[in-house]
Structure 1
Amino acid sequence: MIQRHIILMNIQDAREQLEAIEKSLLDPDYEEGELQIDLAHAYHHLNYAWNIRNESDAALERHADEDFARWSRYPSEDIKSYP
């Protein structure tokens, strides 16, 4: 894993998002649409942490929008089932 610092930052951001969701769920006005957006944000950070792990520093420096989109996607090819 080359990008440990980026993985760590994204895991921390995902944890913060999940903690915010926990607090929001205590609010009876918190709606499903908000949950969907908030969970998507948490998933983004987890997906990014996984997908960016072996990218070179040069790839990160020159990345384009399509790279960011690819790094943000759920890694379905890598994670096919749960043990």
Structure 2
Amino acid sequence: MSAGSKAVLGVTLLLSVGTVVAVHLQQQRDRERLREGVLRDLERQSRKQENIRLLEDQIILTKHLEAERDRQALDRGPQQS
């Protein structure tokens, strides 16, 4: 084998190995990003459920407050007359 052939073979081998390694690393990054996306979605769903629970609590408290205010208004109404 001539020196030129060996050089071409070596360069080709290095480029092939480099390409395989680059593709492997890119796939790992893609998989990691996908996992992070799933975790972000789960966190977002958790926050959404918590917000819904807080909103329901606020609605209940508002109804209690309005009922108490109405009761007080009814109690004060006849006394002031």
Scaled by the length of structure 1, the TM-score of the pair is 0.32
Q: Select the structure of larger CA radius of gyration.
A: 2
Q: Which has the higher helix share?
A: 2
Return the structure number with greater relative CO, CA threshold 8 A, min gap 6: 1
